[in-house]
A and B are shown apart, each in its own frame.
Chain A
């Protein structure tokens, strides 16, 4: 049997390899996505201090460290039985919204964008961010760089560092915002809303007005009927920072809704001998192999999944974009994998709008940003939506030590 090897997978955060086996007729017999590495956080976090987890576990992923930092910090709240003051929660969500703007921008333009902007037939040497800038022009290229830099400035302002922030503590955050900084955040947020709208227009012009691309998006090859997972607020609208996790079935009907502490009733991880990565699935349906459909426990946790799992968006412009997304693609749920990029831009707009709302919140410059925990730590679970899926942290402490149990994104 002939084998095609793609090694390494590129324009992706993390390591991966794909093996494609072709039969005698030259058709794909089977293909395997393999992860060639493990670092072992599950083990080496044993013996470390619980309060160091936000800084240690974010090294799981340096592209989305803020997601691990936040999931971990929320886990510490639960572990130490402490409720942070309201301004601290808002500062965390403001920080997290700025992070979403940077990350979705990075993913759309730098990781995925070259496929769309340069097109599938473009020479390998041009299929990258520099090729994208050359094609879309320095003006848009500059706007991309600017959106990333400005929002990293917010991450730096609150988190202390632009990559691998330090401000998460059980019961709050180590640093707040003063009025001068708040004004700067508000301006960045306004620019980010414009940038997100511009990005949706770019997608409209380059992708949606191009029949070849639209045919590819809705083609069978890129369509899988699966379950979808995403965190929602009390009105079932998408939320990245807090809420309950909702799962919908391939018909779009609610299948489950759970609080962080109930996660082990709903998800489990399957092991294959040919990859270091485990495969999460819905526990109540069970692992049925690499197949889609209602009888398979395979679920997706992505921007597309979050939109499918929610009833709408909590901000007005994002809600409009959400409605256009579903009316164009024929209603809910959307099963087309490549539509994930469009969903990502709907979320980019939501993140920017939410950032703007929070920057104008009257509590956001309050110095009341920490509650010192006093209860004995024992066990905690925290969940956030990482840009690329629902992220769960679970820690158990012994006398003085912590034992993180599970973390995937």
Chain B
């Protein structure tokens, strides 16, 4: 049997997905037996021009991580779609926009001002900002355009599957790779995990009645190690987040922050989380309810930590 041709790419991301791919450990040797990796910037030396020269659909599978924040990332998404039979959104940024998606609270101008003009460590009296084209004595230099809005991979090109997580746990990655190797791929559009239900399903903490009189910030309390964190007033996203990760964060005494994205059938993870939180508030008195929700200081960062670009909100309005 001919070896599978595999490509792995990163767009607006952090490299954590690459480390997550290496987390499959010695299975990487098994992977090497059945697949040739034709493009993987973090680990092999193939260049953009090599990908450009590949025929259409000559890559069997491409794992694409990272959101689409620049023109180069958009171009690479389109090129890899054209060259790949199967294109998989790998990780929270490609899937929902991820942490870089929080940039949709602002736009290019505001981000540039902060990064290049206002930060205390920056010395930039000439108010220089990055330019897509710039003439230097030897010729012209170019850098990609930085867009106002972060997009997900599926908002940019047609995708076949999703492997969720920030980054995906090794078991989730291997679940997908095994399906690929054995040609047992699920129906197009499937979000590949061990569990399509909520993280709570994976979580060993005891659940009883969720009634909350006060929400706490993580540094304010030392939670009981056995009991559901949401019941203890910590804003745990496990209730509105797809499982399959085995609930590692709650097991380290910290709330789930939602990186595996929405459970099956939910379009807007943040709205789902928000409605779940609203339903556990133990009061019918409007003033008391107001006091309780006043303790939620950062709704966007809490409910849409990894999914703002993919949500119904998409981005903040900038005047």
Which A residues fall within an 8 A CB radius of B?
A: 1, 3, 6-15, 19, 21, 29-30, 32, 34-40, 42-44, 46-49, 51-52, 55-56, 58-63, 65, 76, 80, 106, 110-111, 124-125, 127-130, 133, 138, 141-142, 145, 148-149, 152, 156, 158-167, 169-171, 174-175, 263-264, 267-276, 278, 280, 283, 287, 370, 372-373, 394, 400-401, 405-406
Instruction: Output the least CB separation between A152 and chain B (Å).
Output: 7
Could you tell me if B141 and A268 are in contact, using CB atoms closer than 8 angstroms?
Answer: no
CB < 8 Å neighbour of B41 from A10, A56, A161: A10
Q: Are A43 and B252 in contact (CB under 8 A)?
A: no
Q: Which of A61, A264, A276, A394 has the most CB of B within 10 A?
A: A276
Knowing that A38-B115, A44-B102 touch, tell me 8 more A-B residue pairs with CB under 8 angstroms: A59-B99, A106-B22, A162-B170, A175-B252, A272-B128, A400-B297, A405-B119, A406-B120
B23 contacts A145, CB within 8 Å?
A: no
Cross-chain contact A40 with B111 (CB below 8 angstroms): yes
Residues from chain A with a CB closer than 8 A to the CB of B120 are 264, 394, 405-406
Assess the B48–A56 pair: CB atoms within 8 A: no
Q: Which chain B positions have C-beta within 8 A of A400?
A: 297
Residue ID in chain A nearest B118 by CB atoms: A42
**Chain A contacts of B12 at CB under 8 A?**
37, 39
| Stretch from B78-86, B131-139, B205-213, B276-284 that touches the partner | B131-139
State A48–B99 Cα separation when bound (angstroms): 12
Whether A37 and B22, one on each chain, are in contact in the complex, defined by CB atoms closer than 8 angstroms, is no
> Among the listed B18, B22, B116, B170, which residue makes an inter-chain contact with A271, where contact means beta carbons less than 8 Å apart?
B116
Between A59, A63, A370, the greatest number of chain B beta carbons within 10 A of the residue's beta carbon is seen for A59
Q: Which of B70, B166, B249 contacts A37 (CB 8 A)?
A: B70
How near does chain B come to A407, taking the closest CB pair, in angstroms?
Answer: 10
Residue in B closest to A57 when the chains form the complex, CB atoms = B99
The distance in angstroms between the C-alpha atoms of A159 and B249, with both chains bound, is 8
Complex: how many Å from CA A3 to CA B256? Answer: 49
Which of B32, B128, B170, B305 contacts A130 (CB under 8 A)?
A: B32
Closest to A80 in B: B219
The verdict on A276 contacting B298 (CB below 8 Å), with A13-B15, A373-B219 known, is no
Indicate if the CB atoms of B16 and A124 lie closer than 8 Å.
Answer: no
B window 211-257: CB within 8 A of A: 217-222, 248-249, 251-254, 257
Contacts of A133 in B (CB 8 A): 29
- Compute how far the CA of A278 lies from the CA of B120 in the bound complex, rounded to whole angstroms: 13
Complex CA gap A36/B122 in Å reads 19
* CB pair B166 A59 closer than 8 Å: yes
Query: What are 7 sample pairs from A and B whose C-beta atoms fall under 8 A apart?
Result: A21-B138, A42-B115, A44-B103, A62-B17, A106-B22, A167-B253, A174-B252
Provide the bound-state CA to CA distance between A187 and B85, in Å.
45
- Distance in angstroms between the alpha carbons of A35 and B146 in the assembled complex: 12
A271-B124 contact in complex given A62-B17, A160-B249, C-beta closer than 8 Å: yes
How many Å lie between the Cα of A130 and that of B22 in the bound state?
A: 12
Shortest beta-carbon distance from A170 to chain B in Å: 5
Nearest-neighbor residue (CB-CB) of B257 within chain A: A55
The residues of B that contact A130 with a CB separation of less than 8 Å are: 32, 37
In chain A, what residue has the closest Cβ to B131? A273
Measured in the bound complex, the distance between the Cα atoms of B118 and A380 in whole Å is: 18
**A contact residues around B49 at 8 Å (CB):** 7
Residue numbers in B under 8 Å from A163 (CB-CB): 16, 19-20, 23, 167
Instruction: Using known A-B contacts A40-B115, A43-B103, determine if residue A110 contacts B22 with beta carbons closer than 8 Å.
Output: yes
Q: Are A51 and B219 in contact (CB under 8 A)?
A: yes
How far apart are the CA atoms of A39 and B144 in the complex, in Å? 13
Chain A's closest residue to B105 (CB) is: A44
The CA-CA distance from A370 to B252 in the complex, in Å, is: 14
Cα A148 to Cα B257 in complex, Å, equals 26
Does B186 count as interface, using CB distance less than 8 angstroms? no
User: Which residues of A are found within 8 Å of B69, using beta-carbon distances?
Assistant: 37-39
Known: A51-B218, A264-B120. A13 touches B249 (CB 8 A): no
Verify B253–A11 contact, CB threshold 8 A.
no
B26 within 8 A of A: yes
A170: chain B residues at CB < 8 Å are: 219
| Contact of A1 with B138 at beta-carbon distance under 8 Å, contacts A11-B45, A43-B111 already known | yes
- B44 pairs with A171, CB closer than 8 A: no
Contact A271 B15 (CB under 8 A): no
B20 and A405 within 8 A (CB) = no
Size bracket, chain B contacts? 35 or more
Q: Is the CB of B43 within 8 A of A273?
A: no
B297 touches A268 (CB 8 A): no
Contact call B121/A267, Cβ cutoff below 8 A: yes
Our pick among A6, A34, A269 for the contact of B47 (Cβ within 8 Å) is A6
Known: A43-B110, A276-B146, A400-B297. A169 touches B219 (CB 8 A): yes
| Contact between A145 and B26, CB atoms less than 8 A apart | yes
Residues of chain A within 8 A of B20, CB atoms compared: 62, 163
Complex partner residue of A128 from B45, B129, B134, B300, CB under 8 angstroms: B45
Q: Which of A29, A47, A268 contacts B298 (CB 8 A)?
A: A47
Give Cα distance in the complex from A311 to B43, angstroms: 34
Q: Which residues of B contact A60 (CB under 8 A)?
A: 14
Distance of B242 from chain A, by nearest CB (Å): 16
Bound: A406/B12 CA distance, A? 20
Query: Which residues on the B side are within 8 Å of A34 (C-beta)?
Result: 141, 143
State whether A273 touches B257 (Cβ < 8 A).
no
* Cross-interface CB contact of A11 among B44, B99, B103, cutoff 8 Å: B44
Say yes or no: is B100 at the interface (Cβ < 8 Å to chain A): yes
Interface centre among A1, A128, A370 (most CB of B within 10 A): A128
Taking CB atoms, residues of chain B closer than 8 Å to A148 are 22, 25
* 4 shortest interchain CB distances as A-B pairs: A62-B16, A160-B252, A62-B14, A21-B138
A10-B46, A11-B44, A12-B42 are known contacts. Are A19 and B106 too (CB-CB below 8 A)?
A: no
Q: Is B189 an interface residue (CB 8 A)?
A: no
Decide: A40 near B103, CB < 8 A? Known: A49-B217, A49-B298, A274-B143.
yes
| Segment 92-115 of B: residues with Cβ below 8 Å from A | 98-100, 102-103, 105-106, 110-111, 114-115
B123 beta carbon closer than 8 Å to chain A: yes
Look across to chain B and name the residue whose beta carbon is closest to the beta carbon of A64: B15
Q: Is the CB of A128 within 8 A of B44?
A: yes
State which residues 181-212 of B face A: CB under 8 Å: none
Most chain B CB neighbours (cut-off 10 Å) among A9, A14, A80, A267: A14
Q: In the bound complex, how far is the Cα of B121 from the Cα of A9, in angstroms?
A: 27
Give the residues in chain A near B300, CB-CB below 8 Å.
47
Smallest Cβ-Cβ distance to A133: which chain B residue? B29
The chain B residue sitting closest to A131, CB to CB, is B44
Q: Which residues of A contact B170 (CB under 8 A)?
A: 162
